[in-house]
A = this chain, B = another copy of it.
Amino acid sequence: MGLERVLTSVSPTASSGRYTELSSLLELVKGILLDHVAEADASNAARQSGQRNGAISHSQAAALLPPEIVSQRLSLNLTDKPQGKDGLLELTDRILRLSINTWDHGFMHKLYSGTNPVGVISELILAILNTNSHVYTVSPALSVIEKQTGRALANMFGLRETYSGGITQPGGSASNFNSVLIARHQAMPFIKETGISGQQLVMFTSVDSHYSLEKAAQMSGIGSQGVCKIPTDAEGRMSVPALRRSILDASDQGKHPFYVNATAGTTVRGAYDPIDEIADVCQEFGLWLHVDGSLGGSAIFTRRQSWRLKGSERADSITINPHKMLSVPISCSFLLGRDLRQFRSSNSIDAGYLFHEDAPLAAATNDADDTYDLAEFTPQCGRKGDALKLALGWVYYGRIGYERYVDNAFDMAAYLAALIKNHPRMEIAAVPQSVQVCFYYMPSRMTDKHDMAAKHNTAITAYISEGLPSKGFMVDYAPGPVGKFLRVVTNGTTTKETLNSMVNEIDEIGQSFIK
């Protein structure tokens, strides 16, 4: 009978209780979960029609509550006794009330937003499968999907060699960390065995790059001293001449440069480092080129923006987080590579209880050059099949669906930047590079008293950020030239009306601070 499903012989009533239990629990919680989405839809719709939405959504209000209050209202009760369906439903309801509604367009606080309907479905499928994508035998379909999706992504970036591909990692920090490990292993393969003993490895990354690069150095035993932070230009892009000089300096000091990270979409300003020029330098000195495209790598999906990633086809490894700009559910991060054999030699370890060279299927799944036992490419053992989430959205919405999504994020950032520029009381703080808009509200200009001005600006920025949730918006802030500024991150669902409304709210809150 083989793979044929014989569902005709499966009677739910005849089977033991899990089908029934799951079915009834789904019915139980479906309503309040869907209401969570409906509420955001309604809030968005109201905003589209010009209504003030502060009053119609609880979405962001939880952001204003201190942990003691949240804890009290949640009243999580981890006891001996089962609390059953009632306990489950009531707790779920309280969790939803006390969480931020990321489906609301007003959520522009971090580099991610709510997911989409297919995202939810993909997590549901993964939960039903509850499979571990460490070895092929227990996850045939998910392993194949991860291989093919990783390969498709790598190809889009121009990594098209025989062993080019990619694997998922639990977040951008993990992807960046693995890239450092792989590059370290390429440079000094003996370290895996002997450890570091004062080799003074040096990696290069811009001052605006994500903190995970420095953490990777700390964790891998290279240390913060082994991270050379290269200055950026006025747009937040790494200075290539400075990079070149720093590499020469490090070599002169007897240190060992081995790794350069080019950021595609910096955390605060969204800047793209000049990857192609950086690739020239890496080629000249024989250094590993990593592209941290956690945020901005998704621009590869759009014909209008992919030029920003020019040069990534020369990278050795690339991080891309579809859970950011593509709204795939958290977490979905890929580390792509020109040659996955390098990933494997860095990460593989003998474990006869997990990897079987003597299994009858071994020849088909595993050889000296390639394997479907994907744990061999990563620092992890057990792994969730996160690749499915990108693949399923790709199938449903198509690449052009993702393209429209990314294009909208870029368009809306440009629209917002224009609004700010034309606003009498707002001031662009950094030339917009991609999907972030950074600005001050009535910044102090006391250039002779920089510290006082910075304090003032940070205070008003924090005040506005804190005032926005009760108006249905969430916006974060970040350190800037004169104190902290507001940073808005647009996404695939952002609309002009949302931005207009937000600018008005910011102005109102800002005015109340000044008075």
Contacts and interface: CB of A to CB of B under 8 A. Distances in A.
Contacts of A394: 78
20 contacts: A5-B35, A10-B39, A17-B41, A33-B124, A36-B128, A79-B399, A82-B400, A92-B392, A98-B144, A109-B137, A109-B138, A112-B132, A113-B130, A123-B123, A124-B124, A137-B476, A170-B380, A173-B379, A221-B222, A352-B478
Contacts of A364: 66-68
A219 B115 CA distance: 33
A237 interface: no
A127 B125 contact: no
A77 B145 CA distance: 10
Given A3-B58, A88-B395, A353-B479, A145 B74 contact: yes
Nearest to A353: B478
A70 interface: yes
Interface string A77-121: 111111111011001101111111011000001101111111111
A388 B96 CA distance: 12
Contacts of A30: 26
Contacts of A254: none
Contacts of A33: 124-125, 128
A168 B91 CA distance: 20
Given A5-B39, A112-B132, A191-B221, 18 more contacts: A19-B34, A21-B117, A22-B117, A25-B117, A25-B120, A26-B34, A26-B120, A63-B138, A66-B361, A66-B365, A70-B141, A83-B396, A91-B395, A99-B140, A123-B127, A211-B354, A221-B221, A358-B462
Given A18-B37, A68-B364, A78 B149 contact: yes
A94 B478 CA distance: 46
A503 to B, nearest CB: 21
Contacts of A391: 76, 78
A14 interface: yes
B372 A67 contact: yes
A330 B386 CA distance: 11
Given A82-B401, A121-B88, A220-B219, A99 B142 contact: yes
Interface in A5-62: 5-7, 9-12, 14-19, 21-23, 25-26, 29-30, 33-42, 44-45, 48, 55-56, 58, 61-62
A395 B86 CA distance: 10
Contacts of A45: 14-16
A202 B277 CA distance: 42
Contacts of A149: 76, 78
A505 to B, nearest CB: 17
A65 B466 CA distance: 56
A477 interface: yes
Contacts of A408: none
A129 B120 CA distance: 10
A396 B224 contact: no
A254 to B, nearest CB: 13
A316 to B, nearest CB: 19
Q: From A97, A323, A331, A380, name the one whose CB has the most chain B CB atoms within 10 angstroms.
A: A380
B7 A19 contact: no
A177 interface: yes
B125 A95 contact: yes
Copies in the complex: 2
Contacts of A97: 3, 5
Given A56-B9, A91-B395, A194-B225, A100 B220 contact: no
Interface string A349-360: 111111010111
Nearest to A215: B349
Contact of A223 (B78, B92, B193): B193
Interface in A184-201: 191-198, 200-201
Contacts of A487: 353
Nearest to A184: B221
A35 B19 CA distance: 8
A384 interface: yes
A433 interface: no
A491 B67 CA distance: 37
B395 A359 contact: no
A76 B128 CA distance: 20
A392 B83 CA distance: 10
Given A6-B56, A221-B191, A63 B137 contact: yes
A125 B383 contact: no
A464 to B, nearest CB: 11
Given A379-B215, A379-B219, A144 B71 contact: yes
A67 B136 contact: yes
A64 B19 CA distance: 26
